[in-house]
Amino acid sequence: MGGKVPNYQIVYRDETLNFFKPGGYVFFQRLKEYGGGYWLGKIYEDGFEFVLERPTSLSEGIKHLLVLKSVEDGYLEFVDDIDNFKLQ
């Protein structure tokens, strides 16, 4: 599962996000007393959209971003195989 990791930032406990690129991904680290891990989301000028509905580890979040990027990169691929569209 190689490839370039999408643009993301990490905000650790007790830190703030001073600069962000709209449409970029952000990991917010949770407090240990709440279970640790990270919230992963996409940040915009006027809001934050959760990418995953549950906290995740940093490694699992990056793996999810790689899969998401591979799907986004191939969504315009033309499939010229009629057998893929047969109903059974």
Condensed to tens digits (0 to 9), the pLDDT of residues 21-30 reads: 899 999 999 9
How far is residue 39 CA from its own chain's centroid?
Answer: 10
* HEC sequence for 49-78: EECCCCCECHHHHHHHHHHHHHHHHCCCCC
Position 71 confidence tier, pLDDT thresholds 50, 70, 90: confident
pLDDT of residue 80: 67
Q: In what order do the strands lie in the sheet with 47-50?
A: 8-11, 25-29, 38-44, 47-50
pLDDT one-digit tens code per residue, 23-67: 999 999 999 999 999 999 999 999 999 999 999 999 999 999 999
